[in-house]
Amino acid sequence: MTSGQRVRRTPAPATSRRSPVVVAGVAAVVFAIAVGGWVLFRPSAAGESVSGTGLPGPIGGSSVAVDVNTMLGKPAPAFTLLDSDGTSYAITPGQGRPIVLVSHMGIT
């Protein structure tokens, strides 16, 4: 080399290393998509009644369910309710006093 020549250096190729945070984020998104797809498209178990909304249907099937709109303007039918001890309570609406039913499906 002569003293008038310049030395031209080329930069070293950059190594592509992904951050662990980026890798974990991508893995979390892929996992969430997989779980969401499984929940949406899984086949229902035998005997599991599922409506079009994805919610479980009534126990005993849709034949025991009463559409609320078919009861408009008609007196409520008599029915029987069981408490958690198995005691039966017969309810007969239309005897001159109002009835309020409160149903709580919480964990007891």
What confidence tens digit (pLDDT) does each residue in 83-106 have? 888 899 888 887 877 777 777 766
Which residues constitute the domain of residue 67?
20-91
Q: Please give the structure tokens belonging to residue 55.
A: 């919610």
Q: Which residues pair with 50 in a beta bridge?
A: 56
What are the pLDDT digits (tens) for 33-60? 999 888 888 766 555 555 556 666 666 6
Question: Does residue 9 lie in a domain region?
Answer: no
Question: Does residue 12 lie in a domain region?
Answer: no
The answer to whether the beta carbons of residues 78 and 93 sit under 8 Å apart is yes
Question: Does residue 65 lie in a domain region?
Answer: yes
What's the structural domain count of the chain? 1
The answer to whether the beta carbons of residues 88 and 80 sit under 8 Å apart is yes
User: What was the pLDDT predicted at 108?
Assistant: 55
Q: Taking residues 19-36, report their average pLDDT.
A: 91
Question: Does residue 2 lie in a domain region?
Answer: no
Most trustworthy range by pLDDT among 11-15, 33-37, 75-79: 33-37
